[in-house]
Amino acid sequence: MDVVLPRRRERFDDRRKESAQRKLLDQFFDHRTLLTISRLISQGQFDSVDFPVATGKEGGVFRATAGSEFRAIKVYRIGNTTFRNLPAYALDELRRETSVRDFAGLIYAWTRREHSILGRLTDAKVRVPMPYGHLRNVLVMEFVGNAEGGAPRLRDAYIEDPEAVYRDLVDQVGRMVREAHLVHGDLSPYNTLYFEGRCVLIDVAQAVSSAHPHAAELLTRDLTHYATFLRRLGVDVSGEEFAHAVGADRLASAPAGG
């Protein structure tokens, strides 16, 4: 049997990929996080972590295998960078919900908060990743994608019917506002996934009650981001029209709550 040795450039590329993967693992999977992953595996949440789907300054999302299914594992970095870009209202909400003040404790509370809000949205039939569990700085949730990889962001997806996307967003955001009584606070085509012709809302930890003093302002800002994107695709809609379509005028009568 002939043995084909890799060429020098191929060997260099392989080493560079391995180095990048090691650097990525070191950034996210410190000793404490590895212990958390191990405990989640022992709980039966998943069998193995496969590969990164998306990474950023605050954390990363990885695909994991759970039997014959896939799951998404969101790992938050432990440090002040996680909160550096968060708006003041989101930090205020978090501090009201927890007595801890150290970075690790706040991040654990933030992870728990995202899990709770995902559950609330799932109950309201808003299309979000279904939450499966959480521990410390790791959140386990439904994987949006297939064996090929994760679903693209709405911003990067090929959209055949922009009007259908608009109607879908009106339905999903409307359910969030009217049924879950929540306002996301950071919605845009960048943190909305597009899978099998439908939008999936993600990154919900900073959501606030629709009775929050800034809820209407936050909702209009979110929907203006969508409207700007949709107008580029030929959908004639403004942020104000979008807000009216999802029921923003009912925010003042929404029940108070977390």
pLDDT band for position 202 (50/70/90)? very high
The pLDDT of residue 41 = 97
pTM attached to this predicted model? 0.85
Tokens encoding 225: 């981001």
pLDDT, mean of residues 159-165: 97
Q: Which of 32-41, 93-102, 249-258 has the lowest mean pLDDT?
A: 249-258
CA geometry: angle 220, 224, 228, nearest 5 deg: 175
The pLDDT of residue 12 = 52
Verify whether residue 186 is a known catalytic residue.
Answer: yes
Segment holding 49, helix H or strand E: strand 48-55
Judge whether residue 238 has pLDDT over 70. Answer: yes
Higher pLDDT, 152 or 13: 152
The pLDDT of residue 256 = 43
Comparing C-alpha atoms, which of 159, 126, 93, 114 is closest to residue 246? 126
The pLDDT of residue 103 = 79
What integer best gives the mean pLDDT of the chain? 87
pLDDT, mean of residues 107-119: 94
What percentage of the chain reaches a pLDDT higher than 70? Answer: 84
10-32: pLDDT as tens digits: 555 555 655 555 666 667 788 89
pLDDT, mean of residues 119-136: 98
Judge whether residue 140 has pLDDT over 50. Answer: yes
Identify the active-site residue in 47, 186, 222, 236: 186
Comparing C-alpha atoms, which of 97, 140, 96 is closest to residue 115? 140
Distance, CA of 80 to chain centre = 19
Comparing C-alpha atoms, which of 165, 157, 151 is closest to residue 234? 165
What domains sit in the chain, N to C, each tagged with a CATH number? 43-146 (3.30.200.20), 149-253 (1.10.510.10)
Judge whether residue 4 has pLDDT over 90. Answer: no
Judge whether residue 146 has pLDDT over 60. Answer: yes
